[in-house]
Amino acid sequence: MPVKRTKPTSPGRRHAIVSTYSEVTKKKPEKSLTAPLPKSGGRNHTGRITMFNRGGGNKRRYRIIDFRRQKDGMVATVTAIEYDPNRTCRIALLEYADGTKTYILAPRNVVVGTQIMSGPEADILPGNCLALRNIPLGTLVHNIELQPGRGGQMVRSAGMSAQVMAKEGNYCTLRLPSGEMRMVHLDCRATVGEVGNAEHENEKLGKAGKNRGLGRKPHVRGVVKSPRDHPHGGGEAKSPVGRKKGPVDRWGNKALGQRTRKNKRTDRFVVRTRHDAKKK
């Protein structure tokens, strides 16, 4: 999945680096596996903006991805690799022996014609989905469940993978891409291999208009606003944040690197945080 540098025919294309889409084999999605994706503009059900710097963007439909992979023991064949505008990786169209079609995240080295299976009898091959208790130590996995049967929630971005480090009792210790070491129940499922399209990190938008096409509106820094609009605002000419308690967002909450995690209920599953991993 290589990338290419565009010819400098305009200032916006001079520094752009885009994907070649050479791995994509089908242009239009499977219509039965898509759903409408209405735009909210960052507003909630009352009409208030709760997610800023969102709006506009190209019209798109959502691709329904099978994150659970619960058709055990049935062989599926990859019939197409497709582009998904809603995520950084590619998606693979599977057709099972009974004629059912589903989408999954396309793993690395999985191409059209590859046969994939899920369940305890599946081999340790890219794209196969098993419970963590059936996956040997040292294996790279992605699309990992946090609760059995809920569907994969972790490690789903392009080029990402986690590694199975240890098993003790009912839990498996995983090393996540951030460096965090986390325990996950052995009954949780994961897909073997790395997520494809690892070259995505080398892409460059090249122009501001590409960001608008992705639905991202311009972000204005707090220090250039007025005091009534942001706690960092005010002052003559360029001014630092100048707060004793550190940087905050527009509502006074800690920001810019300040730790805000409050989910103590799951702290016992985190063996080593990503912050501790960066110190070593």
Say yes or no to pLDDT of 207 above 90: yes
CB contact at 8 A, 231 and 248: yes
147 contacts: CB under 8 Å, gap ≥ 6: 185, 188
Look at residue 244 in the predicted model and tell me its pLDDT: 83
Residue 264 is classified by DSSP as G
- Please tell me the distance from the alpha carbon of residue 232 to that of residue 213, in angstroms, as a whole number: 30
Q: pLDDT tens digits, residue range 223-273? A: 999 999 999 999 999 989 888 888 999 999 888 888 888 899 999 999 999
Q: pLDDT tens digits, residue range 46-58? A: 999 999 999 999 9
Q: pLDDT tens digits, residue range 150-181? A: 999 999 999 999 999 999 999 999 999 999 99
Is 227 exposed, middle or buried (CB count within 10 Å of its CB: 0-12, 13-18, 19+)?
exposed
| Residues paired with 224 in a beta bridge | none
What residue spans define the domains of the chain?
24-200, 224-280
Report the Cα–Cα distance between both ends of the chain, in Å, rounded: 33
Pick the CATH number of 24-200 from 3.30.70.20, 2.115.10.20, 3.30.870.10, 2.40.50.140: 2.40.50.140
Closest by CA to 32, choosing from 135, 102, 81, is 102
Look at residue 136 in the predicted model and tell me its pLDDT: 96
Look at residue 1 in the predicted model and tell me its pLDDT: 63
Backbone φ and ψ of 28, nearest 5°: -95, 140
- Residue 280 pLDDT class (50, 70, 90 cuts): low
Q: Which amino acid is at 132?
A: L
Look at residue 224 in the predicted model and tell me its pLDDT: 95
% of the chain with per-residue pLDDT over 90 = 89
Look at residue 262 in the predicted model and tell me its pLDDT: 86
What is the three-class DSSP state of 265?
A: helix
Look at residue 279 in the predicted model and tell me its pLDDT: 73
57 contacts: CB under 8 Å, gap ≥ 6: 39, 212, 213, 214, 215, 216
Q: pLDDT tens digits, residue range 239-248? A: 898 888 889 9
Q: pLDDT tens digits, residue range 124-141? A: 999 999 999 999 999 999
Give the architecture-level CATH label for domain 224-280. Irregular (4.10)
Mean of the per-residue pLDDT values of the chain:
94
Q: pLDDT tens digits, residue range 1-49? A: 689 999 999 999 999 999 999 999 999 999 999 999 999 999 999 999 9
Q: Which amino acid is at 239?
A: S
Q: pLDDT tens digits, residue range 56-111? A: 999 999 999 999 999 999 999 999 999 999 999 999 999 999 999 999 999 999 99
